[in-house]
Structure 1
Amino acid sequence: MACKFHLGDKRTKRFNDKQELAEYVQNVINENISGGKATVKLLANAAPSEAKVVMRVSGDNLDRLREVKNALEAEIAKIPGTSNIRDDMKDETFQLEVNVDEDKASNLGIRKYDIQKQINVALYGSKTSVYRKDGEQYNILIQSNIGNTSALENLEIKSSITGKKIPLKQFATVGIGSKLDSIGTYNGEQSVEILLNELPGYNAVAIENIIEYEVLPKVDTSGTKITFDGEREEMATTFGKVMLLAVCAVFLIYIVLLIQFRSFIQPLVILVTVPLSLIGSGIGLFIFKKPLSLTAVLGIIALIGLVVKNGILLLEYINDARKEGYNIDEACVDAVGKRFNAIILSALTTIVGLIPLAISGSGLFGPMAISLMFGLLVSTFLTMVVIPVIYSMIENFLENRNKEVLIKTEE
């Protein structure tokens, strides 16, 4: 089924991102469709794909699960920024219930097998033969026209023992009951998942924190266990792995620099610039009001290589100047003067290339581009100051210490 939505005048009806468009369509559906459920979903960029806020209610009593679920959904709906609150508990469906008086049935010569088989045939039909035509065959299904409980009560059950037909109502009662077609489980326990989306401009992690620390204390959840499995938990799991890999990457970079400069101290001077990228990335994400998502962290990690590259160039020129006879301070000033234009221009070209991605409105690549741009911008300028200063401090300290050792040796 295809649906067409009128979004108004193209010149006046604009959406800042896909999330705003999805929210608009969801509101239109909610206002015009009754007696059913319709959910607008965007293609997921990463797990969790169904919703960014997911909480699970587990317990042994299904009725208690339903009570807690309803209470939580009512409280969550009051939180600003929440949308499309739903759960995976199936609605109850109605079914025919046949309660057999086994003693009466046995006295009449009716077995359970007779009752089950003949009621099944009456309600669902039975394949009796095959109709063949033009090389094709079609099953012939015989089915009764029973459409209500009174008709089923008058169904005559044939005894496989006596051969007599006896109306079902003489040894059984027929009623209508409700049941759940399926019951969700998690780790062997009955469970219900509550899912919700956030409106544009709101943060899923912040909403989840509000639910855990403000909503749950107000709701009676006794007899159930509440767990969260949304973006917050996914970020915590993924961030742990990513940060471990980042530490390994920094260690490998240190080994490479150790081989290149043949010094234990100078690689550490270069790696001091790595935390500087965090300052710029944090400022950029704050200005553009972007969350610290997984892609933003990946952008920060990617900055490690870019920042280290600038540090290597600067330190290499400082060492060359020292070999030419410059003192420590003169070598630092000379290296900055010679490499300033090259380092700044290479950083600016990278930043300009990331601008289209940053302003694209993409929830996946936008935070990564912003963290790269601002992290590189701030760290580049700070690198031109921090590396010469730290290098000068360390080298002056080492030279003074060597002089003191030499003087003591001569004495």
Structure 2
Amino acid sequence: PWLMLKIAGQKKITHEHAENGGKIGRFYRKLVTPVIASRRSSWLFLIIVGIVTALSVSLFATKTVRVKLLPFDNKAEMQIVLDLPEGAALEDTERSLFALAESIRELEEIDNIQAYAGTSAPMNFNGLVRHYFLRQSPELGDLQINLVEKGDRKRTSHEIALDIRERIKSVPLLEGANVKVVEVPPGPPVISTLLAEIYGPDAQTRRAVAKQIKTLFHEADFIVDVDDSIGDPRPRLAVSIDAPSAADYGVMQQDILDTIAISFRGQVIGTSPRGEARDPLDIRVEFPRSEQIWSQKMATIPVPRRLAGITSDPVELGAVVNVNNQQGSPIIFRRDGRFADLVQGELAGKFEAPIYGMFEIQKRVDDVDWAALGLEKPVIRMAGQPENEQQNTLLWDGEWEITYVTFRDMGIAFAIALIGIYILVVAQFGSFKIPLVILAPVPLTLIGIMFGHWIFGAPFTATSMIGFIALAGIIVRNSILLVDFVKHGQTPDMPLKEVLIQAGSIRFKPILLTALAAMIGAAVILSDPIFQGLAISLLFGLASSTALTVLVIPAIYVALRGPDWRPKVESENV
């Protein structure tokens, strides 16, 4: 008011729309008059609006509008993670990485590619959660792919990742190799987008169930980059001392152990000073890496026979040791102290949210004849580790866990907000019924929100939910404007229908201008990949709710009281 007085000065301020609301008010009068002409027309309008709201929500069920925690962001980097079979040489990993890089180097969106064999690429937050810092083995490798700037390419990083995933399918790799295209997530990172934790009474049962679930993952055409936490046992070379032969040859067992250690690890025999107070360098004697394997040549390495006398000739290493190849121990994985095996996958294609992969796998689990496999059908849990580990259980985790927690918490927050609004309105109007009328238009935002997501082909994300919650306050404010005017405008000589038309005609313009201002503000983030859901919710939710609120509130009044209702003189207006 102070600023208005300073700007307007002494000019007389008038309200030319006070009588009928001007052109906008007259338009509103023509629109609302047939709706509130009678109780029947009001109920018919409310039923139609309810049906349209229900149909809009059904777009979730028909998968016309899909649900996802966060959409894929347009990042400047991604990774190709390579896992060769256990025991593969470092040279095999390097050759495979170079072959993968060669298959994608023609993409114009790629700026450079960095290969890391036997170790992980420089780690980011996503790599920290996925434990990439543990990738320190000859059969493991990473390709770090850096893209050109966003403004210099037409495709998003996700579209490029889908293209890369198709190109690398034709690259010949060792049997059993596993290749994943890893994108930087837009939100909290997880071990895998689609993650099934398998619990059971013993390791053998868990691994059998996990193997079958992994097969089901492979059968779903939109689940890619399938892997598990079990892997193949790492082969190992077991070298043991043949004690009887060592005794017969007069060889000390410590000499045999020292010879084996020197053969495979080398030996520091001295240091080389560098001067200038610098640390000296170790002088190490060792075989070339290509010869650090058990072979006929290594079996002929001499071992001294100190127990047989200093004049005795040494004996060959192969004569006093037993060498055989063994399978290593399987990987043991625990979560929160409980034994579990993991089956992992990513989603690409027609569905990219974990909920659809979960439904697909659950349907396939029901179709499997578990009795024929000698297994008990696993119980599927959506959240929380099982209390009874003697029963086979599949617990969904990964991005679903974050999605479930996020939408659950926001749903609780939304319910608390509605309760708080209800209490405030009860205190304002002194009635328990009027707040219900005021809150009735809140679901109307779903009509515009769902329509907007369908038009843009955008998933319903966490930011979309935030927009829906924010709209509740805006819609309630519009409802309060109308209800408050109706309450104070009721007189015994004016029927309810005229009071409603007058209230809507005068209040429609400020309600419309406020909505337009908020819509313009939301439009500027419509192209942002992360906050597009928020923009769609605000833009289309405001459009539908603003248009319907000014019609639904009068329709509720007339449906409950009739168009000709008048307050009694002795009664208090409600």
Q: Give the TM-score range, shorter chain.
A: 0.7 to 0.9
- Aligned equivalent of 1:6, options 107, 112, 125: 107
Q: Which residue of 2 aligns with 1:409?
A: none
- Aligned equivalent of 1:193, options 337, 343, 365: 343
Rate the CA distance shift 1:70–1:372 in 2: closer, same or farther, 3 A: same
Rate the CA distance shift 1:277–1:190 in 2: closer, same or farther, 3 A: closer
1:55-66 counterparts in 2 under 5 A?
55-58=196-199
Q: Which residue of 2 aligns with 1:176?
A: 325
1:275-294 counterparts in 2 under 5 A?
275-294=443-462
TM-score norm. by structure 2 comes to 0.59
TM-score norm. by structure 1 comes to 0.78
Q: Which residue of 2 aligns with 1:139?
A: 282
Letter in structure 1 aligned against 2:359: N
Q: Which residue of 2 aligns with 1:351?
A: 519
1:355-366 counterparts in 2 under 5 A?
355-358=523-526, 360=527, 362=529, 364-366=530-532
Q: Which residue of 1 aligns with 2:158?
A: 19
1:400 Cα deviation (Å)? 8.8
CA distance in 2, matches of 1:205, 1:88: 21
1:380 Cα deviation (Å)? 1.5
Q: Which residue of 1 aligns with 2:543?
A: 377
1:9-408 counterparts in 2 under 5 A?
15=155, 18-32=157-171, 34-35=173-174, 38-47=179-188, 49-58=190-199, 69=210, 71-90=212-231, 92-102=233-243, 104-105=245-246, 115-135=256-276, 136=278, 137-144=280-287, 147=292, 148-157=294-303, 166-179=315-328, 182-186=331-335, 187-200=337-350, 203-215=353-365, 217-218=367-368, 220=370, 222=375, 225-322=393-490, 328-358=496-526, 360=527, 362=529, 364-391=530-557
User: Retained in 1: the 8 A contact 2:235–2:326?
Assistant: yes
1:209 Cα deviation (Å)? 0.6
1:127-165 deviation per Cα after TM superposition (whole angstroms, max 9, x unaligned): 332211133311122335664333443344557877876
- Root-mean-square deviation (CA, aligned residues, Å) is 4.0
Rate the CA distance shift 1:159–1:323 in 2: closer, same or farther, 3 A: farther
CA distance in 1, matches of 2:453, 2:186: 19
Of 153-162 and 187-196, more deviation after overlay is shown by: 153-162
What SS class does the counterpart of residue 185 from structure 2 fall into? coil
CA distance in 2, matches of 1:68, 1:292: 33
How many residue pairs end up in the alignment?
Answer: 398
Of 151-160 and 37-46, more deviation after overlay is shown by: 151-160
User: Retained in 2: the 8 A contact 1:56–1:226?
Assistant: yes
User: Retained in 2: the 8 A contact 1:60–1:189?
Assistant: no
1:124 Cα deviation (Å)? 0.7
User: Retained in 2: the 8 A contact 1:85–1:197?
Assistant: no
Q: Name stretches of at least 5 consecutive residues in structure 1 with no aligned partner.
A: 407-411
Of 156-165 and 235-244, more deviation after overlay is shown by: 156-165
1:231 Cα deviation (Å)? 3.5
CA distance in 2, matches of 1:204, 1:162: 70
CA distance in 2, matches of 1:212, 1:42: 26
What SS class does the counterpart of residue 6 from structure 1 fall into? coil
1:36-85 deviation per Cα after TM superposition (whole angstroms, max 9, x unaligned): 65433322123454543222345687677666555544443332333333
1:339 Cα deviation (Å)? 1.1
Rate the CA distance shift 1:324–1:105 in 2: closer, same or farther, 3 A: farther
Rate the CA distance shift 1:326–1:68 in 2: closer, same or farther, 3 A: same
Rate the CA distance shift 1:368–1:30 in 2: closer, same or farther, 3 A: same
Rate the CA distance shift 1:109–1:377 in 2: closer, same or farther, 3 A: farther
Higher relative contact order (CA 8 A, sep 6+): 2
Rate the CA distance shift 1:33–1:49 in 2: closer, same or farther, 3 A: farther
CA distance in 2, matches of 1:202, 1:319: 50
User: Retained in 2: the 8 A contact 1:298–1:368?
Assistant: yes
User: Retained in 2: the 8 A contact 1:291–1:367?
Assistant: yes
CA distance in 2, matches of 1:115, 1:182: 31
Of 334-343 and 54-63, more deviation after overlay is shown by: 54-63
Rate the CA distance shift 1:315–1:142 in 2: closer, same or farther, 3 A: same
CA distance in 2, matches of 1:109, 1:323: 119
CA distance in 2, matches of 1:192, 1:113: 43
User: Retained in 2: the 8 A contact 1:58–1:192?
Assistant: no
CA distance in 2, matches of 1:74, 1:14: 37
Of 195-204 and 248-257, more deviation after overlay is shown by: 195-204
Rate the CA distance shift 1:227–1:162 in 2: closer, same or farther, 3 A: farther
CA distance in 2, matches of 1:163, 1:319: 116
CA distance in 1, matches of 2:561, 2:252: 99
CA distance in 2, matches of 1:386, 1:208: 39
What SS class does the counterpart of residue 84 from structure 1 fall into? strand
1:291 Cα deviation (Å)? 3.6
Q: Percent same amino acid at aligned positions?
A: 24
1:258 Cα deviation (Å)? 3.2
CA distance in 1, matches of 2:248, 2:369: 55
1:302 Cα deviation (Å)? 1.5
1:210 Cα deviation (Å)? 1.0
What SS class does the counterpart of residue 199 from structure 1 fall into? coil
1:173-227 deviation per Cα after TM superposition (whole angstroms, max 9, x unaligned): 1133343685433343252332222225554322221111224642757386533
CA distance in 2, matches of 1:384, 1:259: 23
User: Retained in 2: the 8 A contact 1:184–1:190?
Assistant: yes
1:168 Cα deviation (Å)? 3.6
